[in-house]
Structure 1
Amino acid sequence: MNETSLLVSLPLIAALVAAAWPRAATITGVIATLGNAGLAVVLAIRIGQGGAEAEALGGWAAPLGIGFAADGLAALMLVMTALVGLGVSVQVAGAPLPDAGRTGQRTAFWPLWLATLGAMNALFLSADLFNLYVTFEILGLAAVGLTALSGTRTALRAAFDYLSAGLAGSLLLLLGVALAYATAGRVDLAVVPELAGSHEGRVALGLIFAGLAVKAALFPLHFWMPAAHSSAAPEASALLSALVVKAAIYVALRLSIEGGAAVELLRLVLAVAGAGAMLWGAWHALRADRLKLLVAHSTVAQVGLIALAIGLTTGARDGTIWRAAALLMLSHALAKAAMFLAVGRITEELGHDRISGLNREELRPGAAEFAFAIAAISLIGLPPTAGFVGKWLLLDGLIDRGAWPWVALVLLGTVLSAAYLARVVSRCLRGGPHVAPGARRPAWRAGDAAALGLATAALALGLASALPLTLLDATLT
């Protein structure tokens, strides 16, 4: 059994073990997450050195069998998931347990997280449309459980909305996959150009893209995301925002690369929807009164930026823009996971997450506040972060094409993101007379290490951006 099979089977088996033996859930989850990270890194190194790989499970090739394909883009997403999973796992494993309710949340977290990890790995490796649908089903059910993990009425309501939206997206995906099979007689990803050449095939691709838009909460189908991400427990919010929404965005990017110029109309719709999400999310983040709600609306805006980049690529030949989209996904995952973990710690320190009350006299800025600030720098796209490199590549590709209206939209989105994140950073890190001389610093927790580590990774990745960009050169085109 090679790395591709283990990346799918290990987390799913560990999820079953964690569910069956709750007392061993933490140690099982940590070991499985560490093992997954090692497998992802080994596979990425091998692909970077030897190129893309393909595997037919059970020896059955397409169109009858299930195929896995591991290339540079898939490997980058696997490493991204592994890094974020490690950070969140450190936070959960090291969190204090003040009551039995919190103990139950931790026990329930591990099977849900491991199922999410296995489903995401399978999705990134899948080489056919139906298998993508199956992985989305597993991922959606696990994500609903993560949303409801805190058990509050608000979280349960948000989980129900999440479930409703997920079912609608899954129905659209299934209809698209069924129509694709009826049209072409196969559902492997190589059939996408063929589908784009017929009327029925274009309808199938349209249904698939619509289902992906729902699952990615792309404007105007975003109604469920802010409540779900702001109501969930901090560790669940980190996974939902940093990873789960990336699944649909990744598939949209993969289909865009496979389809080339044949899916130009769908990409245009994706770009327009991305621009709308970027502006809508930023506007509501500017008006948010709670820190977690601001970060959730920020996810809508950042996903919109990535969708815009995917929509503006012209296929595999347009290497600059689609590579920018992949790098933006990576930088957003690291920074947003760090931000949600930091928000959880800030809320724990202050007893609330009201933005207007972040600067309190009796409490000095701690590690969580600095982690939030570093993550904000990456999300805004300031040097030397990975967010800056991604936006630079995107703007460079757009300027080369003379797409000045889109350049203006990206710059406007950057200004808006700086404006709403500055609302928080200016309060978190503000010094001066409002801080009492005897103000205490928050006690150090594992969550601080996780948030700082992920935020620092987003910062360091900008200085080492040649590594992911070189890995992307091994992408199947």
Structure 2
Amino acid sequence: MTTPLALPFPADTTPGGFLLVLAILVPIIGILLIWTLGSRRTELVALTTLAIGAAIALAILTELTGTGSAVIYLVGGWRPPLGLALRADGLSVVLIVLTAIVIGAVGIFAKGQFGYDPDAPEKRAPTVFWTLLLGISGALNLIFLGDDLFNLFVAIELVTFTAVPLVCLDGKAETMRAALRYLLFALLGSVMYLLGVALIYSGYGTLDIALLKSVARVEPLLFIAIALMTVGLLAKTALFPLHIWLPAAHAGAPAAASAVLSALVVKGSFFIILRLWFDILPAEATGLGAQMLAGLGALAILFGSVIAICQARLKLLIAYSTVAQIGYLFLMFPLATGSEATPAFASIAWTGGILQLASHAFAKAAMFLAAGLVYDAFGHDRISGLAGAGRVIPITFIAFGLGGMSLMGLPPSGGFSAKWLMLNASVGEGQWWWAAVILCGGLLAAGYVFRVLVPAMARPLARIKVKGPVSRRRELVALALAIMALLIGFVPLEPAPLLGIGRGAEAGLLVPGGLAP
């Protein structure tokens, strides 16, 4: 018998709720304008749309912090389960702002590469690129604001079908194969996710996350559903051993696309996993599963780092580094669930995990953009052929180095703060083995980062052949993202109150489970 549903929603849309609709609709309007106005105005429309999207993200952040509660929009004025709701809590808003910053920076970087050239034959690639970029922006916002499991399925599929074409934008056979492999894994993941959604609906009669939190029971049906959905999402997130599609896809895409894929796209499916485990599953049911997820994360850190060290190409090295860095995100699952005796450490682990997500996004976007500039300058990205390259394009390699500094976890970077918080949580909760993995992963990251930087900054034995000049504007974009990865390391080393808004925060401490209106 189904438990009567509580209604953890206001009677009407909260003030500022219309901003949530705009965050999703504005990119769609931008796409329609691109295809209506033609290729001459494609770039202008896209960049204007991204700027408006960034302003909306900041407006949602202002509304959330001003009211201290979740921002909610009830579609059609109907509350779930009869209607649908868009919901922005502290975690959602952090990711919406992060998405706006990274995609905006990528748009500025791509301005020269995918701009309109009146003296050249008209090409479809610029129109397709900007359309897909706006599509990813809108789809990710729908994920971060969605409160219904089926709507999240629609959103994650929109992300997939906008991300896959970015991989093979150049039309080469090798990138087509990489895109098809990506698509295959994504579709298999979608089938598993949808099966889990069907099971949950059959058992509880609703798919709204806030309502499910109040009625979910510790029972086999819920475990099976969450397990199916989690495995499907792990395939999209590329957690080891379901990562085999990622290196070729990320390394083969244009630099601007690689930056978005690595920094943001894999975070969309990870965000849904967070919703499943922390907002639906009862706290007492997460123990063994959380340890298993962290175990896969630990294997990802070690395997991805070792394989990255062995790579001959710069973009492949960065791609395998993504496999490793994703692993850190899953260490937060056993640490953030914590225990009744260590609630403070659980809150610290949650904050550290989200900080790792943000610092990785900035660092990896900067590193992929830097790799694209290396290719533009020298016509290749073979690491063996980059001796002395840092003396030719120093700003590019400074951006790469600062991003690598965050991956290694060196102070005062965001990566250091994130890993330090998780180290404290693992030691405080007596789960010291995760601390050992974090330390080992930092050393391995130093190995593959310095494998590039040491020869690049050395004096070359022979004259370096330069293919062409590198745009200073594009170098500065990569450097700005790397500096952001550094600056967020100055976030106070304590549970971030912002992350707790709308999630049952009390006394400034975050309660990972639980949704508050």
> Which TM bucket (shorter chain)?
over 0.9
Secondary structure, in 3 states, of the residue corresponding to 2:73?
A: strand
In structure 1, the partner of 2:55 is 38
Higher helix fraction (1 or 2) = 1
Residues 363 and 38 from structure 1, CA distance in 2 versus in 1: closer, same or farther, beyond 3 angstroms? same
The answer to whether 1:289 aligns with 2:312 is yes
2:427 partner amino acid: I
Superposed CA deviations along residues 231-257 of structure 1, whole A, max 9, x for unmatched, are 111111000000000011111222222
Secondary structure, in 3 states, of the residue corresponding to 2:381?
A: coil
Equivalences for residues 91-240 of structure 1 within 5 A: 91-95=109-113, 103-190=123-210, 191-192=212-213, 194-240=215-261
Equivalences for residues 252-401 of structure 1 within 5 A: 252-258=273-279, 259=281, 260-314=283-337, 317=343, 318-360=346-388, 364-401=392-429
The answer to whether 1:404 aligns with 2:432 is yes
In structure 1, the partner of 2:4 is none
Match of 2:481 among 434, 442, 454: 454
Alpha-carbon contact 1:48-1:470 (below 8 Å) kept: no
In structure 2, the partner of 1:69 is 87
Residue 64 of structure 1 deviates from its aligned partner by 2.3
Alpha-carbon distance in 2 for matches of 1:380, 1:362: 20
In structure 1, the partner of 2:498 is 471
In structure 1, the partner of 2:75 is 57
Superposed CA deviations along residues 257-281 of structure 1, whole A, max 9, x for unmatched, are 2133323333222111111111111
In structure 1, the partner of 2:13 is none
The answer to whether 1:11 aligns with 2:27 is yes
Alpha-carbon distance in 1 for matches of 2:215, 2:296: 25
Residue 70 of structure 1 deviates from its aligned partner by 0.6
Superposed CA deviations along residues 79-119 of structure 1, whole A, max 9, x for unmatched, are 11011011100011133779968953222111101111000
Alpha-carbon distance in 1 for matches of 2:454, 2:495: 32
Residues 311 and 252 from structure 1, CA distance in 2 versus in 1: closer, same or farther, beyond 3 angstroms? farther
Alpha-carbon contact 1:149-1:236 (below 8 Å) kept: no
Secondary structure, in 3 states, of the residue corresponding to 1:313?
A: helix
Greater shift, 361-370 or 209-218, is seen at: 361-370
Alpha-carbon distance in 2 for matches of 1:466, 1:472: 13
Greater shift, 39-48 or 451-460, is seen at: 39-48
Alpha-carbon contact 2:388-2:457 (below 8 Å) kept: no
Alpha-carbon contact 1:360-1:435 (below 8 Å) kept: no
Alpha-carbon distance in 2 for matches of 1:424, 1:64: 56
Alpha-carbon distance in 1 for matches of 2:384, 2:464: 21
CA RMSD of aligned residues (A): 2.4
Residues 246 and 437 from structure 1, CA distance in 2 versus in 1: closer, same or farther, beyond 3 angstroms? closer
Greater shift, 261-270 or 34-43, is seen at: 261-270
Residue 34 of structure 1 deviates from its aligned partner by 0.6
Secondary structure, in 3 states, of the residue corresponding to 1:68?
A: strand
Alpha-carbon contact 1:183-1:195 (below 8 Å) kept: no
Alpha-carbon contact 1:365-1:429 (below 8 Å) kept: no
Alpha-carbon contact 2:379-2:467 (below 8 Å) kept: no
Alpha-carbon contact 2:30-2:45 (below 8 Å) kept: yes
Structure 1: tracts of 5 or more residues without a match: none
Residues 124 and 433 from structure 1, CA distance in 2 versus in 1: closer, same or farther, beyond 3 angstroms? closer
Secondary structure, in 3 states, of the residue corresponding to 2:21?
A: helix
Secondary structure, in 3 states, of the residue corresponding to 1:69?
A: strand
Alpha-carbon contact 1:194-1:201 (below 8 Å) kept: no
If the length of structure 2 is used for normalisation, what is the TM-score? 0.87
Alpha-carbon distance in 2 for matches of 1:237, 1:16: 24
Paired residue total? 476
Secondary structure, in 3 states, of the residue corresponding to 1:55?
A: strand
If the length of structure 1 is used for normalisation, what is the TM-score? 0.94
Residue 23 of structure 1 deviates from its aligned partner by 2.6
Secondary structure, in 3 states, of the residue corresponding to 1:150?
A: coil
The answer to whether 1:241 aligns with 2:262 is yes
Alpha-carbon distance in 1 for matches of 2:389, 2:187: 47
Alpha-carbon distance in 1 for matches of 2:271, 2:450: 29
Greater shift, 71-80 or 363-372, is seen at: 363-372
Alpha-carbon contact 2:71-2:87 (below 8 Å) kept: yes
Residues 101 and 402 from structure 1, CA distance in 2 versus in 1: closer, same or farther, beyond 3 angstroms? farther
Greater shift, 315-324 or 248-257, is seen at: 315-324
Superposed CA deviations along residues 45-65 of structure 1, whole A, max 9, x for unmatched, are 221232222221111211122
The answer to whether 1:22 aligns with 2:39 is yes
Alpha-carbon contact 1:362-1:438 (below 8 Å) kept: no
Structure 2: tracts of 5 or more residues without a match: 1-16, 504-513
Residues 87 and 405 from structure 1, CA distance in 2 versus in 1: closer, same or farther, beyond 3 angstroms? same
Larger Rg: 2
Residue 473 of structure 1 deviates from its aligned partner by 2.9
In structure 1, the partner of 2:7 is none
Alpha-carbon distance in 1 for matches of 2:470, 2:251: 24
Greater shift, 96-105 or 227-236, is seen at: 96-105
In structure 2, the partner of 1:418 is 446
Superposed CA deviations along residues 431-477 of structure 1, whole A, max 9, x for unmatched, are x4647699999543332121011111111111245799332131413
Alpha-carbon distance in 2 for matches of 1:169, 1:6: 29
The answer to whether 1:84 aligns with 2:119 is no
Match of 1:445 among 472, 477, 502: 472
Identity score, percent = 38
Residue 7 of structure 1 deviates from its aligned partner by 0.3
1:188 partner amino acid: D
1:463 partner amino acid: F
Alpha-carbon distance in 2 for matches of 1:144, 1:438: 34
Alpha-carbon distance in 1 for matches of 2:460, 2:254: 34
Alpha-carbon contact 2:390-2:457 (below 8 Å) kept: no
Residues 441 and 157 from structure 1, CA distance in 2 versus in 1: closer, same or farther, beyond 3 angstroms? closer
